[in-house]
Structure 1
Amino acid sequence: MPSINASEVVNSARLNGFHYLLVAWCSFIMMFDGYDLVIYGSVLPHLMTQWSLTAGEAGLLGSSSMVGMMFGALSLGTQADRFGRRRIILFCVALFSVAALANALASGPISFSLCRFLTGAGLGGVVPNLVTLLKEMSPGHCRNRLINLMLSFFAVGGLLSGVAGIYLIPAFGWPAPFYLAGLSLLALPLLYKTLPESVAYLLHRDQQVQVAALLRRVNPAHAPTGEVSYRLEASADARATSMSALFGQGRALSTLMLWLAFGLCMLMVYGLNTWLPKLMSNGGYPLGSSIVFLVVMNLGSLIGTLVSGVIADRWGCRKTLVLCFALAALSISLLGLRPDAALLYGLLLVAGGSTVGCLSVVHTLAADLYPVQVRATGVSMAAAIGRCGAVAGPLLGGLLVSLSLPFEQNFLMFAIPGVLAVFAVLLVTRQRNSNAQPLPQRSL
């Protein structure tokens, strides 16, 4: 019986309705990821007043979702290689939807923190698997762009959370945006019916009939005659455990530096999204304008994520990340100089675009670094360790506010991680897995 490499069938496919639907669902989920996380920055000033929170307590409250994301990435995200990408994604969507809806009913810091933790756990488990699923099911010529398009909806969610903060909170109070966050629960039945499993996972379970049917949807031009079997190229680490494979084949330094870059990126993203309105308000800007600044920064995030995907397909992930991290450090540090309105908005656009642009590309870098047998584990572990930075970001902002530092020093502290991340990315070396598909772009 002839044997066909299923990865080559997926890699050579033309974009079609299957891919559009897959990207649409992943983007929809990613939008709620951005909404659920960024909304805290909008409600934070109101919670500090209503519950008489100190800056340190507010930072701890903001970090609860990040701790949840780290827990979710470790406990849920890494299980996708065992239970399948689809099952984990569906479970995580249900978890973060219910938890976000319950957040609106929180009566104090403790219940609010618990709901934020559970929301973060669902989001932490779902995002790495969205990246993995798109990585394994997208055509090779546009893979990075599709992944970054999906990740750009984090910024769309952030924009919506800012708009909700501007219009809903004054009219209905701080719980109102969380009721909107629970709307993702309504999409779960349709998501259950239409979201596919990845070819790679089905082949690991030797489900040849399902693989053949799925490949006909992925690549309608693939029409083998007679009975065939499908396979994946075996990698040198195929018999290694998931964790040992992350450090095998000369990947030890690259894995550690990838984790560091992930963490530094998330520190900037979540630290700024949590504390930007408060920092700007403390700097003399009206609170309403400070939330508008958050909206502008997330508009830049949307633009930057889309642009970074195109650049990554042409330059490769490492060069793109070096550029984005450098721009992030420069633009964030300049925010502290109190520029005029036009320059301020320009810097916020660049800061949002470069930081979240880094976050999208670093996910792609992680997916490229590991062989298919441990890809979900590799991406999930990188995201989980990176959540240490996401936890540190809100805590750092709370510390800076409590120290009452000069305005410019606050932003300088958020810029330093960008400089360190440049050197971390440069130490991530190119891997050539025997199961990697040759791509026309020069991605890592």
Structure 2
Amino acid sequence: MLFDGYDMVIYGSLLPHLMNDWQLSAQQAGFLGSASLIGMMIGAVTLTIAADKFGRKRIVLFCTTLFSLAVLSNCFADNPTNFFICRLFTGIGLGGAIPTMVTIIKEMAPSDYRNRLINFMLAMYGVGAILSGLAGLFLIPVLGWQAVFILGGLSILLLPLLYKTFPESVRYLVQKNLQHEVIQALKKLNPNHQHQEGMLYINEGIGSEQKTSLLNLFNHGRAFQTILIWLCFAMIMLMVYGVNTWLPKLMNIAGYSLGASITFLVVLNIGNIFGTMLFGALADKWGVKSTLILGLLICACAIAALGLHPPMLLLHTLLLIAGGVMFGSLSVAHALAADFYPTSIRSTGIGFAAAMGRFGAIGGPLLGGLILSMQLPFELNFIVFAIPGVIGALVIGLFNIKMKAIE
């Protein structure tokens, strides 16, 4: 997750340099920024279905390999086309990894701490985002923009550690009736576990949903709830990727130096870390629906207020709040999807929610390029990015959290 946050946010730091080096228009820069997001949508659809069929661990290892090699390849991109292709494959790897990791935590974590553990893992996105801002400040001026991708590609070094320590979901093993692997996993988790000869481990109630199927996202009364989850993801991701991509450029236009504008991105993602962990605890205490609605409304207000040219102290406070509630809401949305779908389609459910959300994520950089080309009054730029927060809150207000997906 740390390398995901680093790689997804680094484009905001690179954007002014790429626009200058390659003479990109605002619309071209927005399209280039959407490359990794298009890839994430592809990866979330294809690789998460594979995770429900072939295992969570295998897909995480494959995805880590893919996005690490793609990030390193970006060092050699000498034109927008090559850059786009590298970013596309980076996104495919990340798009498959994140929902699969959420699935594993959902299926392995104690229920009383599940949401906060999911959010703690997702909070590492903010740590990576901060590192990307620091890399933009200190590496690019000295070594050029290519250097930041060498740092991002170090994720390839994680593979031996992941292979040795990353667990396979016990629920997945039971659902696939891999009894020997279940026994090994339980003994690894609890060395005192005693297995009686002839004992079988079963997951009660999976019944007709033993087979992974996209249609199961809409069966058993799930259709309306699934659509609401997709809309919620799309609105949140539009804000997340739109603001992260265009914040430095918009603040630069407002009169702040480029260095200060990138610093604002760092402050935004400091809020991300603390907000994401806080929202996990709130979701365990208040429930995911109430936490999500509150977060989205606060997020809309904070983003809109950024366009009012507040004093520097208030500006930094608003950035901390906006980053905290924006990313905290996205993390809780993942927890909501993980809680809603049963084991047999959980990776598919979370993956497709993330994939549909990528339409919003792709729209974020494109929307920023559009409103920048329209030369709107400065404050309207942030109001446009705030509107999806209000829409997302209304969507979740319609979600029936009491309706449990059939396990």
> Which TM-score band applies after superposition, normalised by the shorter structure?
over 0.9
Residue 88 (str. 1) matches residue 59 (str. 2): yes
The one-letter code matched in structure 1 to 2:302 is: S
Q: 1:134 aligns with which of 100, 105, 125?
A: 105
Residue 322 of structure 2 corresponds to which residue in structure 1? 351
Residue 10 of structure 1 corresponds to which residue in structure 2? none
How much has 1:141 moved relative to structure 2?
A: 1.6
SS at match of 2:201: strand
Residue 262 (str. 1) matches residue 233 (str. 2): yes
How much has 1:278 moved relative to structure 2?
A: 0.1
For residues 194 and 134 of structure 1, the distance between their equivalents in structure 2, rounded to whole angstroms, comes to: 14
Residue 230 of structure 1 corresponds to which residue in structure 2? 201
- Stretch of structure 1 that moved more, 245-254 or 300-309: 245-254
Residue 154 (str. 1) matches residue 125 (str. 2): yes
Residue 327 of structure 1 corresponds to which residue in structure 2? 298
Residue 361 of structure 2 corresponds to which residue in structure 1? 390
Task: Confirm or deny: 8 A CA contact 2:304 2:379 kept in the other structure.
Answer: yes
Residue 249 of structure 2 corresponds to which residue in structure 1? 278
Task: Confirm or deny: 8 A CA contact 1:208 1:230 kept in the other structure.
Answer: yes
Residue 432 (str. 1) matches residue 404 (str. 2): yes
Task: Confirm or deny: 8 A CA contact 1:73 1:124 kept in the other structure.
Answer: yes
For residues 344 and 224 of structure 2, the distance between their equivalents in structure 1, rounded to whole angstroms, comes to: 20
For residues 420 and 383 of structure 1, the distance between their equivalents in structure 2, rounded to whole angstroms, comes to: 17
Q: 1:42 aligns with which of 13, 30, 53?
A: 13
Task: Confirm or deny: 8 A CA contact 1:246 1:252 kept in the other structure.
Answer: yes
Q: 1:363 aligns with which of 315, 327, 334?
A: 334
For residues 432 and 367 of structure 1, the distance between their equivalents in structure 2, rounded to whole angstroms, comes to: 12
Task: Confirm or deny: 8 A CA contact 2:222 2:405 kept in the other structure.
Answer: no
> What does residue range 161-310 of structure 1 map to in structure 2 within 5 Å?
161-220=132-191, 222-235=193-206, 237-238=208-209, 242-310=213-281
> What does residue range 3-14 of structure 1 map to in structure 2 within 5 Å?
none
Task: Confirm or deny: 8 A CA contact 1:233 1:434 kept in the other structure.
Answer: no
Residue 4 of structure 2 corresponds to which residue in structure 1? 33
For residues 205 and 422 of structure 1, the distance between their equivalents in structure 2, rounded to whole angstroms, comes to: 37
How much has 1:193 moved relative to structure 2?
A: 2.1
For residues 207-257 of structure 1, the C-alpha deviation after alignment (integer angstroms, 9 at most, x for no partner) is: 212101211233456435554211111236525752221112211111001
SS at match of 1:229: coil
For residues 97-130 of structure 1, the C-alpha deviation after alignment (integer angstroms, 9 at most, x for no partner) is: 0000111111010000100000001000100000
For residues 394-431 of structure 1, the C-alpha deviation after alignment (integer angstroms, 9 at most, x for no partner) is: 00011111111111000000000000000111122122
How much has 1:392 moved relative to structure 2?
A: 0.2
The one-letter code matched in structure 1 to 2:56 is: R
SS at match of 2:309: coil
SS at match of 1:336: helix
How much has 1:205 moved relative to structure 2?
A: 2.6
SS at match of 2:400: coil
How much has 1:190 moved relative to structure 2?
A: 2.3
For residues 185 and 107 of structure 1, the distance between their equivalents in structure 2, rounded to whole angstroms, comes to: 23
Task: Confirm or deny: 8 A CA contact 2:210 2:344 kept in the other structure.
Answer: no
For residues 137 and 33 of structure 1, the distance between their equivalents in structure 2, rounded to whole angstroms, comes to: 22
Distance change in 2, residues 1:359/1:221 (3 Å): farther
TM-score, length of structure 2 as denominator length: 0.97
- Which 5+ residue runs of structure 2 have no aligned equivalent? none
Task: Confirm or deny: 8 A CA contact 1:97 1:184 kept in the other structure.
Answer: yes
The one-letter code matched in structure 2 to 1:98 is: L
For residues 227 and 290 of structure 2, the distance between their equivalents in structure 1, rounded to whole angstroms, comes to: 18
Task: Confirm or deny: 8 A CA contact 1:237 1:248 kept in the other structure.
Answer: no
For residues 326 and 190 of structure 2, the distance between their equivalents in structure 1, rounded to whole angstroms, comes to: 35
TM-score, length of structure 1 as denominator length: 0.89
The one-letter code matched in structure 1 to 2:126 is: A
SS at match of 1:197: coil
SS at match of 1:231: coil
> What does residue range 82-121 of structure 1 map to in structure 2 within 5 Å?
82-121=53-92
- Stretch of structure 1 that moved more, 303-312 or 209-218: 209-218
Residue 408 of structure 1 corresponds to which residue in structure 2? 379
For residues 144-199 of structure 1, the C-alpha deviation after alignment (integer angstroms, 9 at most, x for no partner) is: 11110000001111000001001101111111111001101012122112212111
- Stretch of structure 1 that moved more, 231-240 or 382-391: 231-240
Task: Confirm or deny: 8 A CA contact 1:253 1:427 kept in the other structure.
Answer: no
- Which 5+ residue runs of structure 1 have no aligned equivalent? 1-29, 436-444
For residues 47 and 132 of structure 1, the distance between their equivalents in structure 2, rounded to whole angstroms, comes to: 36
Distance change in 2, residues 1:349/1:223 (3 Å): same
Residue 21 of structure 1 corresponds to which residue in structure 2? none
The alignment covers a number of residue pairs equal to 406
Task: Confirm or deny: 8 A CA contact 2:296 2:389 kept in the other structure.
Answer: yes
How much has 1:65 moved relative to structure 2?
A: 0.7
Task: Confirm or deny: 8 A CA contact 2:53 2:212 kept in the other structure.
Answer: no
Residue 377 (str. 1) matches residue 348 (str. 2): yes
The one-letter code matched in structure 1 to 2:282 is: I
Q: CA RMSD in A?
A: 1.3
